[in-house]
A and B are shown apart, each in its own frame.
Chain A
Amino acid sequence: MTLQGESAATRPGIELGGRAGARRRGGPTLGRRLRRDPGAVIMFLVLVVVCIVMLYPFAFMIINSLRTETQYLNGSGFSTSSWSGLFSALPVGSELLNSTLICAGSIAIILIGSSAAGFAFAKLHYRRQNVVFLGIIGSMMIPVQSIIIPEYVNLSNVGLVNNYLAPILVYSALGMPFATFLMTVFFRGLPDELIEAALCDGFGYVGVFWRIAVRMAAPALATVTVLQFIQIWDDLLVALLLLQEPANRTITVGLGVLSSGRAVSIPALMAGSLISALPAIIVYLIFQRYLISGLTMGVSR
């Protein structure tokens, strides 16, 4: 019976007002369901347990960030000292700025490159196009660990190590194949007639891309942005190797380096972890629909 009830709502996107929506639909209350369908109640309880397990780390971080070192060891008492001391343990402000700059730069390059190439693959035909397409999309399989050594050497040869450009370029390259794939799939869904009509209005092909197609691609561009933001924001390896001066560190690298110094205060580490996770969580909460559509796009491969 639960199956029929909400079949209309069965779609991949997650609505932010999920809780309110469920209430508004006014299904039977939990108590009434309990009596009518014990199976559903068992599932509900199991899901509650699953959520507790999934959210435990967040609770752990919040609670222990509100303790001093001794309180952490004793497991009781609260204090805000780790938050007020956070800025001396971790240069949070500048690291957040570094992360933001690197994310913004990489995502800009990925958006421009992938949308242009995706449009070309979907709507414009040229010789050897399939080879180029396979080359770019196939690069999706390359793990970063396989190329990080030459990458590091090449970038240090051109003097870019410790320059923001180094991680920006590497992240752009790593994100480009999947983003291009996603944009190609999206543009294939645009009707040819639309492009022909625009051509007849006197736009060139590049004009059609820039003036018409890009403007219609907002959802796909949002998906690429969210996916890449979370990936780049959360990455350790590339930024760790390519930005070696403490002043250049991203927040994720700063945290990683801080935690590997064994003398660190755990509450401060927890506060820093929360700060570093916050932007990605906010982006997730606002744009989860796009994140999900991007993740599941791979199935249509």
Chain B
Amino acid sequence: MAQAEVEAVRVRPSLREGSKRGRRASGIARQRARAGIVLTAPAFVVVVLLLIIPIGEAVYYSMTNWDGITAQWVGPRTYLNLFETPTFWRVLENNGLLLLALPIAVFIPLVIAGMLHEHVWGWKVFRSLIFLPTAVSWVVIGIVAMQVFAANGTVNSLLGALGLKSLEINFLGFEYSALAAVAVTFIWSMVGTNTIVFLTGMSTIDPAIYEAARLDGAGRLMVFRHITLPLLKRYFQFGFVITTISAFTGLFSLIFIMTEGGPGYGTTTLEFFVYQQAFAIGAFGTGATVGIVLLVIIFGVNLLQMRILRGET
């Protein structure tokens, strides 16, 4: 035991600094480096073979006119060709319109988290129930949403019951109403995740701050607006980023089930366009091009977030 402690003291400096001091220390550093490489190897191989190389291939394919059988090199012009296609802009418009749902998909959970944080009677049960849909697949959500928005579905019966029969339509039958139905379903399924993110953020706030505010006579809304919200900034941004990324890359199953991208291109987003081009039409080249555009957008969102975070600290 005493022996071990002495050894530990001798080993420690080299472990921390990894510098070469003496033969013994560098021997340990080398041993450590070797172990590090061995332990990193499995994850590294999986990521390189199945993520990084495919990205390289996707960039290459994106500049060909590959139809699944023959591929000819076209070059960066494929991107210009894509940007000249009206369909591409129609699809991008859908992504843009879905982004309009973003503030709602963040605001509603913020309010719910604010109420849960007040620890009203039964709040733990509410928390569990509100988070429950997070476990359910977009496929199942889509299957139910399709019935809810159908011509004889729940939304239309509600409208009828409210005496708004004139507003009853087959939501999934028209381009913009179908997109709205997808957006509402999207907002609904972000509620659980975002609520938990905000609630976790709120629980990191020191209760003493609240008590001080209460003693100063601040009301609930004042406290929420002037204490909770500013202290929640980091979590707020995180919620915004995951919601944005979900809007761009998480809706494939939902669209596949609810509308199959239709009617027309009414609900085709970039991610669904990739699938449609490559696997429905067989235009692998175009599909890859759209996939890279999507990748660039996601990188942009992440960079923006990192810049904002760095700007703060």
Contacts and interface: CB of A to CB of B under 8 A. Distances in A.
B176 interface: no
Interface in B1-53: 4, 7-8, 11-12, 15-16, 18, 29, 31-40, 42-44, 46-53
14 contacts: A2-B118, A18-B125, A43-B115, A50-B130, A54-B191, A61-B140, A120-B36, A126-B37, A150-B58, A169-B46, A176-B47, A192-B12, A196-B11, A209-B39
A4 B4 contact: no
B207 A299 contact: no
Given A18-B128, A51-B129, A147-B51, 8 more contacts: A109-B42, A127-B33, A139-B52, A146-B58, A146-B274, A150-B55, A180-B43, A281-B136
Nearest to B108: A50
Given A18-B124, A120-B40, A197 B8 contact: yes
B36 A136 contact: no
Closest 7 CB pairs of A and B: A18-B124, A234-B137, A205-B35, A124-B36, A173-B50, A126-B33, A284-B135
B302 interface: yes
Interface in A104-163: 109, 112-114, 116-117, 119-121, 124-127, 129, 132, 135-136, 139, 141-151, 153-154
A260 interface: yes
A255 B140 contact: yes
B196 interface: yes
B88 interface: no
Interface in B227-242: 234-235, 238, 242
Interface centre among B115, B143, B295 (most CB of A within 10 A): B143
Contacts of B46: 109, 113, 169, 172-173, 176
Interface of B: 4, 7-8, 11-12, 15-16, 18, 29, 31-40, 42-44, 46-55, 57-58, 61, 112, 115-116, 118-148, 152, 154, 188, 191-193, 196-197, 199-201, 203, 207, 210-211, 214, 220, 234-235, 238, 242, 245, 248-249, 252-253, 256-257, 260, 270-271, 274-275, 278-279, 284, 287-288, 291-292, 294-295, 298-299, 302, 309
Interface in A27-83: 27, 30, 33, 39-40, 43-44, 46-47, 50-51, 53-58, 60-61, 64, 73
Nearest to A173: B50
Contacts of B270: 145
Interface centre among A109, A120, A139, A291 (most CB of B within 10 A): A120
A263 interface: no
A102 interface: no
B287 to A, nearest CB: 5
Contacts of B50: 151, 169-170, 172-173
B279 to A, nearest CB: 7
Contacts, number: 345
Nearest to B211: A4
Contacts of B122: 19, 22, 44, 47
Interface centre among A60, A149, A195, A260 (most CB of B within 10 A): A149
A86 B175 CA distance: 34
Interface residues of A, number: 118
A299 B35 contact: no
Contact of A54 (B8, B32, B132, B197): B132
A145 B55 contact: no
A196 B8 CA distance: 6
B73 to A, nearest CB: 16
A276 B137 contact: yes
